[in-house]
Amino acid sequence: MNRLSGKTAVITGGATGIGRAAAKRFIEEGAFVFIFGRRQAALDAALAELGSNARAINGSVSELADLDRLYAAVKAERGTVDIVFANAGAGSQLPLGEITAEHLDDIFDTNVKGLIFTVQKALPLMSHGGSIVLTGSSAGTTGAPAFSAYSASKAAVRNLARSWAEDLKGTGIRVNVLSPGPTATELAVQAIGEEGMNIFASLNPLKRMADPAEIGAVAAFLASQDSSFMTASEVAVDGGLAQI
């Protein structure tokens, strides 16, 4: 398939997990992809897999100067951006009564502040037909014990898409949310461990975790013109976890 032929995409959190799987799928469908992440070794490993139609920029979405470097590199090589997949995320467990300011800052700086500026700083390079995809989560709908800060940050992402669809009226730029359920990524394992992942997997009707490639496939759909009449929407790719 060549649904993304000639398109330029930016994927934050693109070195591993869902971001890397999406980058691979975007390239397979014809896109040129810039992946952005904090770990140089992971970026290098991703580039070795993704090949000549990928570039990697090291940085954090919570650092505005890093985002400026990202988009300067995109502008210098490609001129414009067609697709922004704001996928970088952070999450850890602390129950009510133990939540700290540092815990909140870590999660909201990445999941909300970082996402906002990832999108806002891309807008000058985007034009009619552009697609913005935000990574939400089933936790933004259902909540989870000891995950209130993370769940709240993902509920905020859902509302950002609704508000931004209004802000983007007349531009031809669409914005949608992709909300995965339990997915077998490094970040998820670090956040809740293998035991926690198995527990979450047992709660959905399909009784398994998603492969990152399954989420990447839906990201490609939202990035393409196959979803041309969708904006302000949320697509749940969660095995039914938040749907029943």
pLDDT digits over 108-155, tens only?
999 999 999 999 999 999 999 999 999 999 989 997 889 999 999 999
Q: Which of 7, 24, 121, 150 is catalytic?
A: 150
**pLDDT confidence of residue 226:** 98
pLDDT per residue over 155-181, tens digit each?
999 999 999 999 999 999 999 999 999
Fold type of domain 17-25+36-78+91-237 = Rossmann fold (3.40.50)
Tokens 């009226």, located at residue: 169
- pLDDT mean over 56-79: 98
Q: Which of 75, 154, 169, 207 is catalytic?
A: 154
Task: Kindly state the tokens that stand for 9.
Answer: 């995409």
pTM above 0.85, yes or no: yes
Phi (first) and psi of residue 132, to 5 degrees: -115, 125
Is 150 annotated in the active site? yes
